[in-house]
Amino acid sequence: MENENKLKGTVIVTGSSKGIGKAIAEKFAADNCTVLLCSRNETHLSKTAAEIQQQFPGAIIKSFPADLSDKNQVSAFGNWCLQQGIPEVLVNNAGHYLPGQIFDEPEGNLESMMNTNFYSAYYLTRMLLPAMILNGKGHIFNVCSVAALGAYEGGGSYSISKFALNGFSKNLRYELKQTGLKVTTVFPGAVKTDSWGDFDNSQNRIMEATDIATLVIAATKLSAQAVVEEIVIRPQLGDL
Protein backbone atom coordinates (compact mmCIF):
# COMPACT_ATOMS: atom_id res chain seq x y z
CA MET A 1 0.00 0.00 0.00
CA GLU A 2 1.42 3.36 -0.97
CA ASN A 3 2.40 5.62 1.91
CA GLU A 4 -0.25 8.31 2.02
CA ASN A 5 2.37 10.79 3.24
CA LYS A 6 4.56 10.18 0.19
CA LEU A 7 5.80 13.41 -1.33
CA LYS A 8 5.32 14.32 -4.95
CA GLY A 9 5.82 18.08 -4.71
CA THR A 10 8.68 20.43 -5.57
CA VAL A 11 11.86 20.10 -3.52
CA ILE A 12 14.86 22.44 -3.58
CA VAL A 13 18.27 21.15 -2.51
CA THR A 14 21.28 23.47 -2.53
CA GLY A 15 24.83 22.17 -2.59
CA SER A 16 23.44 19.09 -4.30
CA SER A 17 26.04 17.99 -6.81
CA LYS A 18 27.68 15.60 -4.33
CA GLY A 19 27.85 14.49 -0.70
CA ILE A 20 24.96 15.08 1.66
CA GLY A 21 23.06 17.26 -0.81
CA LYS A 22 23.19 14.64 -3.55
CA ALA A 23 22.08 11.90 -1.15
CA ILE A 24 19.12 14.02 -0.01
CA ALA A 25 18.16 14.79 -3.61
CA GLU A 26 18.20 11.08 -4.42
CA LYS A 27 15.85 10.30 -1.54
CA PHE A 28 13.30 12.85 -2.73
CA ALA A 29 13.68 11.69 -6.33
CA ALA A 30 12.81 8.18 -5.13
CA ASP A 31 9.51 9.68 -3.95
CA ASN A 32 8.84 10.94 -7.51
CA CYS A 33 9.24 14.59 -6.56
CA THR A 34 10.27 17.46 -8.76
CA VAL A 35 13.77 18.10 -7.45
CA LEU A 36 15.56 21.37 -8.15
CA LEU A 37 19.32 21.08 -7.79
CA CYS A 38 21.91 23.82 -7.36
CA SER A 39 25.67 23.98 -6.95
CA ARG A 40 28.46 26.23 -8.17
CA ASN A 41 30.17 23.62 -10.39
CA GLU A 42 28.09 23.32 -13.56
CA THR A 43 29.88 20.20 -14.80
CA HIS A 44 29.39 18.25 -11.58
CA LEU A 45 25.83 19.50 -11.27
CA SER A 46 24.82 18.41 -14.78
CA LYS A 47 26.37 14.99 -14.23
CA THR A 48 24.53 14.55 -10.93
CA ALA A 49 21.19 15.66 -12.42
CA ALA A 50 21.56 13.16 -15.26
CA GLU A 51 22.51 10.34 -12.89
CA ILE A 52 19.55 10.96 -10.59
CA GLN A 53 17.12 11.29 -13.50
CA GLN A 54 18.31 7.98 -14.95
CA GLN A 55 18.05 6.25 -11.59
CA PHE A 56 14.58 7.63 -10.82
CA PRO A 57 12.70 8.16 -14.11
CA GLY A 58 9.46 8.90 -12.25
CA ALA A 59 10.95 12.08 -10.82
CA ILE A 60 11.53 15.42 -12.53
CA ILE A 61 15.09 16.62 -12.05
CA LYS A 62 16.12 20.16 -12.96
CA SER A 63 19.34 22.01 -12.21
CA PHE A 64 20.56 25.59 -11.99
CA PRO A 65 24.27 26.33 -11.54
CA ALA A 66 24.92 29.18 -9.12
CA ASP A 67 27.46 30.30 -6.58
CA LEU A 68 25.21 30.97 -3.61
CA SER A 69 27.90 32.93 -1.80
CA ASP A 70 26.93 35.70 -4.24
CA LYS A 71 23.65 37.41 -3.31
CA ASN A 72 22.85 38.21 -6.94
CA GLN A 73 23.16 34.55 -7.89
CA VAL A 74 21.00 33.58 -4.92
CA SER A 75 18.35 35.93 -6.29
CA ALA A 76 18.61 34.45 -9.79
CA PHE A 77 18.29 30.93 -8.43
CA GLY A 78 15.36 31.85 -6.17
CA ASN A 79 13.44 33.45 -9.04
CA TRP A 80 14.07 30.40 -11.21
CA CYS A 81 12.80 28.11 -8.44
CA LEU A 82 9.56 30.06 -8.10
CA GLN A 83 9.02 29.74 -11.84
CA GLN A 84 9.09 25.95 -11.44
CA GLY A 85 6.33 25.94 -8.83
CA ILE A 86 5.74 26.57 -5.12
CA PRO A 87 8.34 24.59 -3.16
CA GLU A 88 7.11 22.14 -0.57
CA VAL A 89 10.58 21.41 0.77
CA LEU A 90 13.68 23.62 0.92
CA VAL A 91 16.97 22.05 1.98
CA ASN A 92 19.60 24.70 2.69
CA ASN A 93 22.70 22.57 2.37
CA ALA A 94 25.16 24.77 0.45
CA GLY A 95 28.36 25.20 2.40
CA HIS A 96 32.07 24.71 2.57
CA TYR A 97 34.74 24.15 5.20
CA LEU A 98 38.03 25.96 5.65
CA PRO A 99 39.98 24.78 8.73
CA GLY A 100 41.60 27.28 11.03
CA GLN A 101 41.71 29.01 14.38
CA ILE A 102 40.29 32.47 14.91
CA PHE A 103 43.59 34.04 15.96
CA ASP A 104 45.65 32.88 12.99
CA GLU A 105 43.36 31.65 10.20
CA PRO A 106 43.79 33.30 6.77
CA GLU A 107 42.17 36.68 6.29
CA GLY A 108 38.80 36.25 4.58
CA ASN A 109 37.94 32.83 6.04
CA LEU A 110 35.05 34.26 8.04
CA GLU A 111 33.58 36.25 5.15
CA SER A 112 33.89 33.31 2.75
CA MET A 113 32.13 30.84 5.02
CA MET A 114 29.50 33.27 6.27
CA ASN A 115 28.55 34.06 2.68
CA THR A 116 28.21 30.40 1.70
CA ASN A 117 27.16 28.71 4.93
CA PHE A 118 24.82 31.35 6.32
CA TYR A 119 23.83 34.16 3.95
CA SER A 120 22.95 31.76 1.13
CA ALA A 121 20.30 30.16 3.35
CA TYR A 122 19.12 33.49 4.75
CA TYR A 123 18.55 35.19 1.40
CA LEU A 124 17.15 32.16 -0.43
CA THR A 125 14.69 31.37 2.36
CA ARG A 126 13.48 34.98 2.47
CA MET A 127 12.82 34.87 -1.28
CA LEU A 128 10.81 31.66 -1.13
CA LEU A 129 8.90 32.20 2.11
CA PRO A 130 6.06 34.41 0.83
CA ALA A 131 4.93 31.77 -1.67
CA MET A 132 5.37 28.95 0.85
CA ILE A 133 3.43 30.81 3.55
CA LEU A 134 0.63 31.58 1.10
CA ASN A 135 0.52 27.87 0.27
CA GLY A 136 0.05 27.09 3.96
CA LYS A 137 2.47 24.17 4.09
CA GLY A 138 6.10 23.32 3.55
CA HIS A 139 9.26 22.17 5.27
CA ILE A 140 12.60 23.97 5.56
CA PHE A 141 15.74 22.05 6.49
CA ASN A 142 18.88 23.94 7.48
CA VAL A 143 21.90 21.66 7.38
CA CYS A 144 24.22 22.86 10.13
CA SER A 145 26.89 20.70 11.78
CA VAL A 146 27.81 19.57 15.27
CA ALA A 147 30.23 22.49 14.88
CA ALA A 148 27.16 24.66 15.60
CA LEU A 149 26.75 23.02 19.01
CA GLY A 150 30.20 23.60 20.49
CA ALA A 151 33.75 24.69 19.82
CA TYR A 152 36.32 22.19 18.58
CA GLU A 153 39.93 22.15 17.41
CA GLY A 154 40.32 23.81 14.02
CA GLY A 155 36.71 24.97 13.88
CA GLY A 156 37.41 28.69 13.75
CA SER A 157 35.16 30.64 11.43
CA TYR A 158 33.48 27.50 10.12
CA SER A 159 32.01 26.93 13.55
CA ILE A 160 30.99 30.59 13.78
CA SER A 161 29.14 30.39 10.44
CA LYS A 162 27.30 27.26 11.53
CA PHE A 163 26.33 28.85 14.86
CA ALA A 164 24.84 31.69 12.81
CA LEU A 165 22.86 29.24 10.68
CA ASN A 166 21.60 27.52 13.82
CA GLY A 167 20.43 30.85 15.25
CA PHE A 168 18.67 31.65 11.98
CA SER A 169 16.96 28.28 12.02
CA LYS A 170 15.77 28.66 15.63
CA ASN A 171 14.26 32.08 14.91
CA LEU A 172 12.66 30.81 11.72
CA ARG A 173 11.05 27.92 13.59
CA TYR A 174 9.63 30.33 16.16
CA GLU A 175 8.29 32.78 13.58
CA LEU A 176 6.67 30.18 11.33
CA LYS A 177 4.79 28.14 13.95
CA GLN A 178 1.40 29.56 12.99
CA THR A 179 1.89 29.34 9.22
CA GLY A 180 1.83 25.58 8.74
CA LEU A 181 5.49 25.57 7.71
CA LYS A 182 7.93 23.30 9.52
CA VAL A 183 11.59 24.04 10.23
CA THR A 184 14.19 21.40 11.04
CA THR A 185 17.82 22.01 11.91
CA VAL A 186 20.18 19.15 11.01
CA PHE A 187 23.43 18.69 12.95
CA PRO A 188 25.58 15.98 11.33
CA GLY A 189 28.86 14.85 12.78
CA ALA A 190 31.62 13.49 10.55
CA VAL A 191 30.24 12.33 7.18
CA LYS A 192 32.26 10.81 4.34
CA THR A 193 32.22 13.66 1.83
CA ASP A 194 34.88 15.44 -0.22
CA SER A 195 35.77 17.54 2.83
CA TRP A 196 37.45 14.42 4.23
CA GLY A 197 39.57 13.93 1.13
CA ASP A 198 41.15 10.46 0.99
CA PHE A 199 40.17 9.52 4.56
CA ASP A 200 40.26 5.73 4.97
CA ASN A 201 36.76 4.76 6.12
CA SER A 202 37.27 1.01 5.73
CA GLN A 203 36.61 0.68 9.48
CA ASN A 204 33.33 2.62 9.17
CA ARG A 205 34.60 5.31 11.54
CA ILE A 206 32.51 8.10 10.04
CA MET A 207 28.98 8.21 8.64
CA GLU A 208 27.66 7.93 5.11
CA ALA A 209 25.78 10.77 3.41
CA THR A 210 22.78 8.47 3.04
CA ASP A 211 22.49 8.34 6.84
CA ILE A 212 21.68 12.05 6.89
CA ALA A 213 19.37 11.81 3.88
CA THR A 214 17.38 8.98 5.45
CA LEU A 215 16.58 11.11 8.51
CA VAL A 216 15.68 14.16 6.44
CA ILE A 217 13.16 12.28 4.30
CA ALA A 218 11.72 10.59 7.41
CA ALA A 219 11.07 13.99 9.01
CA THR A 220 8.83 14.93 6.08
CA LYS A 221 6.55 11.93 6.67
CA LEU A 222 4.99 13.10 9.91
CA SER A 223 1.47 14.42 10.37
CA ALA A 224 0.85 18.14 9.92
CA GLN A 225 0.72 18.63 13.69
CA ALA A 226 4.19 17.20 14.35
CA VAL A 227 7.64 18.57 13.56
CA VAL A 228 11.15 17.33 14.20
CA GLU A 229 12.86 20.51 15.34
CA GLU A 230 16.41 19.17 15.50
CA ILE A 231 18.30 16.15 14.16
CA VAL A 232 21.66 15.46 15.81
CA ILE A 233 23.51 12.50 14.31
CA ARG A 234 27.05 11.40 15.10
CA PRO A 235 29.28 8.43 14.28
CA GLN A 236 28.67 5.48 16.57
CA LEU A 237 32.13 5.91 18.13
CA GLY A 238 31.61 9.64 18.59
CA ASP A 239 33.23 12.71 17.06
CA LEU A 240 36.75 12.59 15.73
Average pLDDT over residues 75-96: 97
Share the mean pLDDT of the chain. 94
The boundaries of the domain holding residue 101 are 10-233
Asked whether residue 2 is domain-assigned, the answer is no
Q: Cβ–Cβ contacts within 10 Å for residue 225, how many?
A: 5
Helix (H, G, I), strand (E, B) or coil at 164: helix
Concatenate the DSSP letters of all residues of 188-237 into one string. Answer: E--B-SGGGTT---TT--SB-HHHHHHHHHHHTTS-TT----EEEE--TT
Lowest mean pLDDT, pick from 64-73, 117-126, 203-212? 203-212
- Write out pLDDT tens, residues 189-206: 999 887 777 788 878 889
Residue 68 pLDDT: 98
Assign 11 a pLDDT band (cuts: 50, 70, 90).
very high
Query: Do 96 and 116 meet the contact criterion of CB atoms below 8 Å apart?
Result: yes
Asked whether residue 107 is domain-assigned, the answer is yes
Lowest mean pLDDT, pick from 63-67, 73-77, 100-104, 114-118? 100-104
Residue 65, pLDDT above cutoff 80:
yes
Global confidence as pTM: 0.94
Concatenate the DSSP letters of all residues of 76-89 into one string. Answer: HHHHHHHHH--EEE
Asked whether residue 238 is domain-assigned, the answer is no
Among candidates 173, 55, 186, 162, which has minimal Cα distance to 113? 162
Asked whether residue 29 is domain-assigned, the answer is yes
Asked whether residue 239 is domain-assigned, the answer is no
Query: Do 88 and 141 meet the contact criterion of CB atoms below 8 Å apart?
Result: no
Residue 5, pLDDT above cutoff 70:
no
Assign 83 a pLDDT band (cuts: 50, 70, 90).
very high
Asked whether residue 225 is domain-assigned, the answer is yes
* Percentage above 70 pLDDT, the chain: 97
Average pLDDT over residues 26-33: 97
Query: Residue 67 belongs to a domain with what CATH number?
Result: 3.40.50.720
Average pLDDT over residues 11-28: 97
Residue 58, pLDDT above cutoff 50:
yes
Lowest mean pLDDT, pick from 1-15, 64-78, 150-164, 196-210? 1-15
| Overall domain count for the chain | 1
Residue 6 pLDDT: 58
Asked whether residue 138 is domain-assigned, the answer is yes
- Write out pLDDT tens, residues 157-201: 999 999 999 999 999 999 999 999 999 999 999 998 877 777 888
Query: Do 35 and 41 meet the contact criterion of CB atoms below 8 Å apart?
Result: no
* Percentage above 90 pLDDT, the chain: 88
